Amino acid sequence: MDVRTDLAIESREMYIKKHNREIDGVVAEEEREGEIKFTTVKVKNEEGAKKIGKPIGNYITIDIPEFTVYDGGIMDDVSKVLGKILKRLINLEKKQTALVVGLGNWQVTPDALGPKVAEKIMVTRHLEVVMPEVMDDTVRSVCAIAPGVLGITGIETGEIIKSLVDKVKPDIVICIDALASRHIERVNRTIQISDTGISPGAGVGNNRKEISEKTLGVKVIAVGVPTVVDAATIASDSIDLVIDELISKVSSGKEFYNMLKDIDKSEKKLLIKEVLSANVGELIVAPKEVDMIVEALSKIISNGINMSLQPDMEMEDINKFLN
């Protein structure tokens, strides 16, 4: 029941809420591009890293405006902001190669974001051999893979990526992943981009191993969207809320006040277990229209990545290419 989140912005918020001040070694800055707000959380040193629970590096969070997935125009705007942020982080030379990795399980809708993005990436690496004439200076060499998940392949996803990186030798790896959020209101409404790769334990299927420059030997950009909340989080939040509410109603120091303050983690865990008693597999909370939303998000993100990797091409030409 530890408060685990894949989002640096949430970790920071929780720290600030608890300690009433910014984390030492962390700075945050908000920017805005038209209607779209994005926040950069910079983890600058080991102290900051320890306190926020994320490696040193940059974590940029885009707030996706409400109803974006129903509006092609705003979808394009978000793609453009994403493309711009990625360009800041990527910095490739003309003749370098990018490998895009769609993490997750395409058979489980809220975990299918990565594979759905991977299939919409403009891949060009093979054209160097097949059609070298189109691979002029304006076209970057890009390849993509959706390696599947451990339960379906029997192979650690990190192992698959590592073996491919050793073979293909890309100059950058971009991983896309569905995340778990702490807060319902972030579900499908936030894109996090970081230059630190994938931390252990992140993602909807929470057994992931680290995928980073340390493990792969090449810079790793991670792009993630929280698509679910764990059902236990809802239960836990509900319990916290009612307890806070009760605490606010009684004077501090009183017997009942102390009792409320005393409810500890293990007791809470038991209560949550009772609510979610059933042996029906991992329970997730998601909006009913999750299929449609994940499809729309995959378009936003693949467009953003394509724009960042092909800075000399127009969106239109990229789309024509993508037959």
Burial class (CB in 10 A: 0-12, 13-18, 19+), 258: exposed
Nearest to 38, CA basis, from 223, 315, 205? 223
Nearer to a copy of itself, 12 or 186 (CB): 186
All residues at 6 or more sequence positions from 153 whose CB lies less than 8 Å from its CB, including other chains: 147, 160
Nearer to a copy of itself, 33 or 128 (CB): 128
Min separation Cβ 237 and a copy of itself, Å: 5
Min separation Cβ 318 and a copy of itself, Å: 10
| Strands ordered across the beta sheet of 36-43 | 26-33, 36-43, 57-63, 190-194, 220-230, 172-181, 97-102, 141-145
Nearer to a copy of itself, 184 or 218 (CB): 184
Main-chain dihedrals φ then ψ at residue 103, nearest 5 degrees: -80, 155
Min separation Cβ 288 and a copy of itself, Å: 5
- Inter-helix orientation angle 290-309/72-90, to 10°: 40
Min separation Cβ 125 and a copy of itself, Å: 4
Nearer to a copy of itself, 21 or 277 (CB): 277
Nearer to a copy of itself, 31 or 267 (CB): 267
DSSP class of 211: B
Min separation Cβ 156 and a copy of itself, Å: 7
Helix/strand/coil for 288: coil
Min separation Cβ 82 and a copy of itself, Å: 18
Nearest to 175, CA basis, from 153, 156, 157? 157
* CA–CA distance, 214 with 204 (Å, rounded to integer): 23
Contact 197, 213 (CB under 8 A): yes
Min separation Cβ 216 and a copy of itself, Å: 13
Contact 167, 212 (CB under 8 A): no
Nearer to a copy of itself, 253 or 281 (CB): 281
Nearer to a copy of itself, 14 or 108 (CB): 108
